[in-house]
Amino acid sequence: MHKQNYPRVNSMRFNAAFWLLAACLLFTTTQPSSAATSSVVGWYSVTVPAGNSSWTCALVCADLYQSAAVTVTADPSDGKALVSFPAPGWTGGEFTKHYAEPMSGTSAGLALDVLSNTTDTLKLDTTPAAAGLTSGMTFVLRKHCTLIGLMPDGGGFLPFNDSIALFQSNGSQRLYFWNGTNWYASNGANSNEIIIRPAQGFVIQSNAILTITLGKGEVCYVKSTPTKIRASGGVPNLVGALNPLGTTTTLGALGITSSLQPFNDSIVTLNPGTLAQTGTFLSTGSGLINGSGQNANNTSLPAGTSIVINVDASKNINLAPVTVAP
């Protein structure tokens, strides 16, 4: 167990045991070595303190399909990207909560939401020009992480007691509760299928110390390739490393330094329990510094926790890949 610092929270500890359940091969059309998720699957637990603490889901769903696109074109009706593949054997309309991730180009590692699909084509929520998508580019298709997919049994949340808060792109937050069978929003709407994006952080509010287990559903794979996330300008962006295998990491190891505007965009660490700010760090372009101008690359960040990234203008942020050695 290791002490941690997080968003408005007091002392929390991270239980870094990641239980290896099986070595499962993924559905891809390329060589196994190029798979975007590893053969390591399983679940892990974190010790959550009373109060508010910030975490992240360090797992993703399995690769459903991986191949080079035959063509990438713009839909004549709205300009959205149409990406076609060689006889993938899909059923039209089957991908309702999925994303395609380019393996190269300017959007490599970014989860591009699937708007619709035919038997061989994905329509993505972007334009080819905006995302730098081209014919021949390799894509990975996955289902998004959802609350029920990550914690099908509630993960240790006490029914009608503890909550998980997800922040929206406009900075607002939405609360979700476990009722013993399903996840629900504060307005009573069933929220089993609420999406948690890759590396997206969230805040857990607990009335007592809890052990929360993540990864007992379909969200149980370690992602071994780089991840890119979209940070919204002018609002807090909670982000964490996709690394359930280590006990701790550092701010520098997150790999986000070069994505931040030097001496402008900031990283904020938070205290578990109260979510009070414990540190603010700036990028120099090649490293991170603290408020005193000292090198902060080696500032400890316990695995499983999330930080806040503040940017003036919306941008893509790169996260380093996880080294997996099952």
pLDDT digit string (tens) for 147-160?
Answer: 999 999 999 999 99
Confirm whether 254 is domain-assigned: yes
pLDDT band at 34 (very low <50, low <70, confident <90, very high): low
pLDDT in tens, 292-306: 999 999 998 877 889
More confident residue, 33 or 287: 287
More confident residue, 30 or 43: 43
**Which residue is associated with the tokens 């904020």?**
268
Confirm whether 74 is domain-assigned: yes
What is the predicted pLDDT for the residue at 38?
Answer: 59
What is the predicted pLDDT for the residue at 302?
Answer: 77
Least confident of 3-7, 150-154, 191-195, 205-209: 3-7
Q: Model-level pTM?
A: 0.86
Of the residues 90, 118, 143, the one at which a domain ends: 143
Of the residues 127, 143, 159, the one at which a domain ends: 143
Least confident of 7-16, 126-135, 168-177, 312-321: 7-16
Confirm whether 194 is domain-assigned: no
What is the predicted pLDDT for the residue at 176?
Answer: 98
Of the residues 125, 143, 161, the one at which a domain ends: 143
* Owning domain of residue 121: 63-143
Least confident of 11-25, 46-60, 244-258: 11-25
What is the predicted pLDDT for the residue at 20?
Answer: 33
More confident residue, 245 or 305: 305
DSSP conformation class of 298: T
What is the predicted pLDDT for the residue at 111?
Answer: 98
For the four alpha carbons of 297, 300, 303 and 306, in that order, the dihedral sign comes to: negative
Least confident of 5-19, 108-122, 143-157, 247-261: 5-19
What is the predicted pLDDT for the residue at 6?
Answer: 29
Strand order of the sheet with strand 121-124? 63-68, 138-143, 98-102, 112-117, 121-124, 81-84, 71-74
What is the predicted pLDDT for the residue at 245?
Answer: 65
Confirm whether 287 is domain-assigned: yes
Mean pLDDT of the chain: 86
Q: Is the pLDDT of residue 27 over 50?
A: no
Identify which of 286, 194, 191, 245 has the alpha carbon closest to the alpha carbon of residue 59. 245
Confirm whether 46 is domain-assigned: no
Question: Mean of the pLDDT values across residues 269-276?
Answer: 88
Question: Mean of the pLDDT values across residues 161-187?
Answer: 94
Confirm whether 171 is domain-assigned: no
The answer to whether residues 184 and 191 touch, using CB atoms and an 8 Å cutoff, is: yes
By DSSP bridging, strand 37-48 and strand 210-214 are antiparallel
Number of structural domains in the chain: 2
Q: Is the pLDDT of residue 28 over 80?
A: no
- At a CB cut-off of 8 Å and minimum separation 6, what does 154 contact? 178, 180
Q: What is the CATH number of the domain that holds 67?
A: 2.40.30
Question: Mean of the pLDDT values across residues 110-124?
Answer: 98
Confirm whether 157 is domain-assigned: no
The answer to whether residues 153 and 192 touch, using CB atoms and an 8 Å cutoff, is: no
Confirm whether 164 is domain-assigned: no
